[in-house]
Structure 1
Amino acid sequence: MRAIWTGSISFGLINIPVKLFSAIEESTLDLDMLDKKDHANIKFKRVNETTGKEVSYADIIKGYKVDDKYVILEDKDFEAADAIKTKTIDILNFTEEEEIDSIYYEQPYYLEPDKGAMNAYALLRDALESSKKVAVTNFVLRNKESLAILKPYKNAIVLNRIRWEQEIRDSSALKLPAISKTKIKEMDMANKLIDQLTEKFDISKYKDEYHAKLLKIIREKAKGKLPETPKLKVVHKQSGDLMSMLKASLKNKKKSS
């Protein structure tokens, strides 16, 4: 793996030099975009708006428009905005992980101790493990300030970037049913079904089946076979039908058990 950021964790008066690595890789097929007419590859070019000529990546700079003119920004300008945050994962406080709603979670990264930081890294990791707390931090990655939490994962410290409050859209504009305040028969039946389907979470049980099925369709189409499209059963009926479906779901679960 290649480090995408280097800096240090600020833990009280302790600075722990670390390297940041992406903790995930996408499980998607590498599909190319083609022209519908002749299946030729679609290519994207970085083009000068005035001349129409292609511009090499090395010749591209960044700018911000002010009063119809661009202010050009260099690497030193980004660091000058907050030199400390560009090189430091600053621990702001500690909290219970369950207090952070899952809607805020964005992307996980692995942190690896840099030279001479093994003991300090282990101390922070093990302290997080024993306290059952997560560290709330902020830092700058790719010219963007982010909130994040630090938590132990196996023998590593994981940095999980989380979104700012203002980045979450308000759900009040959605047309949603009111939350029921009375206990109804359907609710009782739904809770029984939830109880039947409740089990200890084991991530290894869940596989990306869509990826494999799509690859199978691609191979069959390569041989000239046309895939069959399954018919989906969508229910639009109200409570009377809900009760019968809940009862049937409970019976199916009992049979499968």
Structure 2
Amino acid sequence: MAPRANWKGYLRLSLVSCPIALYPATTDREKIRLNLLDKATGHRIRMQKVDADTGEPVEAGDIVKGYKTADGYVEITSEDLESIEIESSRTLDITRFVPHEEIDDLYNVRPYYVVPDGEAGRQAFAVIREAIRARGMVALGRVVISSREHVIALEPRGKGLMGTLLRYPYEVRDEAEFFDDIPDEPIPKEMIELATHIIDTMKGEFRPDEFEDRYETALRELIARKENGEAARPTRQKTPSKVVNLMDALRRSVEAQDGAGPGHPRKPVGRGAATAKKARGGTSQRRRRAG
């Protein structure tokens, strides 16, 4: 079954417009979801909405939305929300173009595929798409999804556009709240060179098709075993050993990576590699002297 569009309306660049549809670019539908059951009967549990003060069940038709204020709650009806409908409810109006690198990753929320909706306006859609591609920029606009207005960044992707919803500044926490208390640590140059050598031996291509959701796989195997009446097989998690000497840990990591085989190709990295080789040689000499 084809996914349902989250939004339909018009894409507009100045006086040029075309009908479009937005579809979620990602999905978690394939993930396993566990249901809540009554342990005694094995039946599913149905959640019930109740009055927080009286504890009495409330029928769906009697449930309304509201906002908490100092004096209680202000009820907000569907008619109230419709009265503040804004232009971006039906039109995605491009208002600015910015370089891609200026958009901080912290502002990215979720991606959508943007496609022309029907035959009418396909040429206008293609013109807008190729104009954005020619300039190598990202188009910014506004769109209303799930009754809330969002800033959206549009960029060409194949024959369509990818739209990424962006957070507002008030939704992004200031990094200073978390990073300012991190003390400045003195870092010996040799440690940096050893660490960069480890990184260089682990370089590779970005291949998302090789990603495996190991928890999902293990969960499916667990369900299959339980379905066959088998007991669960607890696995002991390996706890990382406590690092006593950072320099020694780096040197051992270099040795491990260099001998990791074809999956971790060895690549010379100039001074870093020379330092790593010197470190390994020094370790070997100390071992010979100790023997």
Report TM bin, short chain. 0.7 to 0.9
Q: What is residue 229 of structure 1 aligned with on the other side?
A: 235
Which of residues 72, 92, 95 is equivalent to 1:92? 95
SS in 1 for 2:87: coil
Q: What is residue 165 of structure 2 aligned with on the other side?
A: 161
Note the alpha carbon deviations across 1:161-211, whole angstroms, 9 max, x for none: 121222122333437644668662121111122222222323223233331
Shift of 1:235: 3.4
Give 2:224's aligned amino acid: R
Q: Point out where structure 2 has 5 or more consecutive residues left out of the alignment.
A: 266-291
SS in 1 for 2:48: coil
Is residue 30 from structure 1 mapped to residue 33 from structure 2 by the alignment? yes
Q: Is the 8 A contact 1:196 1:253 kept in 2?
A: no
Q: Which structure is larger by alpha-carbon Rg, 1 or 2?
A: 2
Q: What is residue 240 of structure 1 aligned with on the other side?
A: 247
Q: What is residue 13 of structure 2 aligned with on the other side?
A: 11
Give 2:215's aligned amino acid: Y
SS in 2 for 1:226: coil
SS in 2 for 1:85: helix
Give 1:236's aligned amino acid: K
Q: Point out where structure 1 has 5 or more consecutive residues left out of the alignment.
A: none
SS in 1 for 2:218: helix
Is residue 194 from structure 1 mapped to residue 196 from structure 2 by the alignment? no
Shift in alpha-carbon separation, 1:234–1:61, aligned structure 2, 3 A: same
Which of residues 98, 102, 105 is equivalent to 1:102? 105
Q: What is residue 148 of structure 2 aligned with on the other side?
A: 144
Q: Is the 8 A contact 2:89 2:144 kept in 1?
A: yes
Give 1:204's aligned amino acid: D
Task: Provide the identity percentage.
Answer: 25
Note the alpha carbon deviations across 1:29-65, whole angstroms, 9 max, x for none: 0211234565442221233555823413x55443334
Give 1:108's aligned amino acid: P
Q: What is residue 134 of structure 2 aligned with on the other side?
A: 130
Is residue 62 from structure 1 mapped to residue 68 from structure 2 by the alignment? no
Shift of 1:219: 0.8
In the alignment, the residues of structure 2 paired with residue 101 and residue 181 of structure 1 have an alpha-carbon distance, to the nearest angstrom, of 29
Shift of 1:234: 1.4
Q: What is residue 174 of structure 1 aligned with on the other side?
A: 178
Give 1:8's aligned amino acid: Y
The RMSD of aligned alpha carbons is 2.7
Shift of 1:14: 1.6
Q: Is the 8 A contact 1:150 1:160 kept in 2?
A: yes
Q: Is the 8 A contact 2:201 2:258 kept in 1?
A: no
Q: Is the 8 A contact 1:95 1:135 kept in 2?
A: yes
Tell me the TM-score normalized by structure 2. 0.76
In the alignment, the residues of structure 1 paired with residue 108 and residue 73 of structure 2 have an alpha-carbon distance, to the nearest angstrom, of 37
Note the alpha carbon deviations across 1:145-173, whole angstroms, 9 max, x for none: 21221112222212111212221223334
Q: What is residue 80 of structure 1 aligned with on the other side?
A: 83
SS in 2 for 1:231: coil
